[in-house]
Structure 1
Amino acid sequence: MAGKLSHDQNFKNLIVDYPSEALEFFAPEEAPRPGDEVRIVPVREEQLQAKLSGRYRRLDVPLLAEWTDGRREAVLFAVEEESDPLRFSPLRLIHYCTDLAELFGTRRVVPVVVFLRPGAVRGPLTIGTERRDYLSFDYLVCALGDMPARDWLNSNNLVARVNLPNMRLPAGGRLEAYASAVRGLLDLEQDPNRLEKYIDFIDIYADLSDNERRSYREQHPEESGMIVGLNQRAREEGRQEGRVEGERAVLVRMLRRRFGALPPVVDRRLGGASVTDLENWADNVLDAGTLDEVFHPR
């Protein structure tokens, strides 16, 4: 499976893949309620870069929640993951939130900070003098490292379950948290690609020792077998993708030598082709009088 990514990218993937569950877990005070007809979409980085230009600050991913039933006005959630509390800057977050408010023409912005380690920095931040405060800024805090894992072992929220290894664990509790995280993922997610991705996520943050992994396999043979199956599927897909890429590269070289530069439509066609298609087209190259005849032989 994939190697370790940055914490920022791990959590960005999680929020984009599960926006409703992320808000429910990270920002329960402001998240949509069960039964709300709401659309939650990530704000694309390209849009932020284009609109904010030099003021663009890449934190994590803002989410726009729009209530289609009209119960509430739209809300922007500015979610930032912080792995090291000492690096967190509420001043930077203020700038980011005001930029978002200006960009979208709204004051309905909810700052959310997810602290991965213990020692969360809580608000509010006030700016002013001894006479009075001129600016007060507060934000929601999800302090993963301070949350007791036992409170979430049976949660139906997938984002909470995969984050069990990041929560406060009792001595010797890491294996139980890992097992509950894996079981929750397997129960709540059916897509094999996401299962593979978030087994990786759990593995990264659980960081089990060899002895703990051995104990897990002995105590949870069914789940262990499913994980092995996901690993085998990932390896097979990797081999298949490597074969496709190899066949495609050979065919591109053959086509360029025979017909010169390739038009974009051919590049797109090759990009979506199977190994069988690529092999058949390669067989046609020598006899084809035109590029079109490679794909449509007479």
Structure 2
Amino acid sequence: MPSSHDQNFKNLIIDYPRQAIELFAPDEAEGLSAPGVRYLPVREEQLKERLGDRFRELDTPLLVEWPDRRREALLFLFEEETKTRRFSIYRLAHYCLDVAELLGTERIVPVVIFLRGGHYATELRLGSERRAYLAFAYLAYAFRQQQARDHFGSPNLIARLNLPNMRHPRSERVAVYAEAVRGVLEVDIYAHLSEEERMIYQQEHAPEAAVISGFAERFLRQGEARLLRQLLTKRFGKPSELIERRLETADAETLALWFDRALEARALEDIFCD
């Protein structure tokens, strides 16, 4: 069962498909600004029902259509991998072939988003020394290879929300978090608004601004909790129910403090002391 953070990541791609493609698959972003471009999420339940036992669950199948016919429809298959060692290029290739046969299309763009660093296969080649009989590749986006400061001020909401997942020194953790939260208002709420319109929005639509800011807080907090849980498990073993409850209820600032302590602490008591 996917975690709430996984679901939030899926929702980001579904809610902001153009920005997802521009960030994770820039080579395929041509024509996305054309009038009438449609982004249609392909329901995973439908694929599962029709593929049966061959179904291999990925995160977000997304169909893009250009009504003016400047490009043929493209199916983007987004997969999120927290740990690179869990990624299988064979599974991804199987899934792409299954979906291509099922939907009757060869217009598929597989994209894998790695939240952490590590080694992973980027190409699959089946054949002999004479020739390749099957060659498969995909687009890879590794957050840990991105410098957070390079994306400060980015107009891409997905990039801004994921700044904490990018590479940055410990001394900039608070600045990175603040920039991510600030980005929600600057990128999403204030997009294409003049200064006067922004003031009107702030006065007349404060509740909506609070809701979106709250979403950013939850998304970032869940990401912090996930990383801290993985670090604790690696250093001290699986967290107890008491610690799990503290991770679930702590705010993002507290989680960041605990994460910094966990990097050097010799015992759990050193992390969660008041």
- TM-score, scaled relative to structure 1: 0.65
Aligned to 2:74: 75
After TM superposition, give the deviation of residue 129 of structure 1 in Å: 2.5
Residues 234-259 of structure 1 show CA distances to partners (whole Å, capped at 9, x for unaligned) of xxxxxxxxxxxxxxxxxxxxxxxxxx
Match of 1:202 in 2: 220
Q: Partner residue of 1:49?
A: 48
Distance 1:84 1:179, change over 3 A: same
Aligned to 1:157: 156
Q: Which amino acid aligns with 1:20?
A: R
What is the aligned length?
210
Percent of matched pairs sharing the same residue? 51
Q: Which runs of no fewer than 5 residues in structure 1 stay unpaired?
A: 214-298
1:72: how far off?
Answer: 0.2
| 1:178/1:206 contact within 8 Å kept | no
1:126 counterpart SS class: strand
Q: Is the 8 A contact 2:147 2:168 kept in 1?
A: yes
* Alignment-mate amino acid for residue 198 of structure 1: A
Q: CA deviation at 1:150?
A: 1.0
**Following TM superposition, by how much is the alpha carbon of 1:188 offset from its aligned partner in structure 2, in angstroms?**
2.5
Q: Distance in 2 between matches of 1:211 and 1:134?
A: 50
Asked whether the equivalents of residues 7 and 83 of structure 1 are also in contact (C-alpha less than 8 Å), the reply is: no
CA distance in 1, matches of 2:172, 2:121: 27
Instruction: Mark the CA change 1:211 to 1:202 in structure 2 (over 3 Å): closer, same or farther.
Output: closer
- Residue 292 of structure 1 corresponds to which residue in structure 2? none
Please give the residue correspondences for 1:76-95 in structure 2 after superposition, counting only pairs within 5 Å.
76-95=75-94
Within 5 Å, which residues of 2 pair with 1:139-150? 139-150=138-149
Match for 1:130: what amino acid?
E
CA contact (8 A) 1:145 1:166 kept: yes
Residue-by-residue CA offset, 1:136-163 (whole Å, 9 max, x unaligned): 1100011111111111011000000000
1:36 aligns with 2:34: yes
Query: For the pair shown, which has the larger CA radius of gyration, 1 or 2?
Result: 1
> How far apart are 1:119 and its partner, in Å?
2.0
For residues 22 and 175 of structure 2, the distance between their equivalents in structure 1, rounded to whole angstroms, comes to 24
| Deviation of 1:34 (Å) | 5.2
CA–CA distance in structure 2, aligned partners of residues 211 and 54 of structure 1: 40
What is aligned with 1:98? 97
Following superposition, the deviation at residue 179 of structure 1 comes to: 0.7
Q: Structure 1 residue 33: deviation in Å?
A: 3.6
| CA–CA separation in structure 2 for the residues paired with 1:132 and 1:43 | 35
Partner residue, 1:23: 21
Residue deviations 1:31-87, cap 9 Å, x none?
Answer: 244532311111112321232122222110100000112110000001000000001
Q: Which runs of 5+ in 2 are unaligned?
A: 190-207, 226-251, 258-274
Shift, 1:118, TM fit = 1.2
1:113, 1:139 within 8 Å by CA — same for their partners in 2? yes
Partner SS for 2:12 = helix
**Distance change in 2, residues 1:169/1:122 (3 Å):** farther
Q: Which residue matches 1:114?
A: 113
Instruction: Identify if the C-alpha distance between structure 1 residues 202 and 70 changes in structure 2 by more than 3 Å, giving closer, same or farther.
Output: same
Counterpart-to-counterpart distance in 2, 1:20 and 1:178:
24
Q: Does 1:135 align with 2:134?
A: yes
Superposed CA offset, 1:203-247 (max 9, x none): 22245553967xxxxxxxxxxxxxxxxxxxxxxxxxxxxxxxxxx
Q: Determine if contact 1:67/1:74 at 8 Å carries over to the other structure.
A: yes
Q: Distance in 2 between matches of 1:84 and 1:45?
A: 22
RMSD: 2.2
Task: Look up the SS of the partner of 2:26 in the other structure.
Answer: coil
- Give the Cα separation in 2 of the matches to 1:136 and 1:212: 43
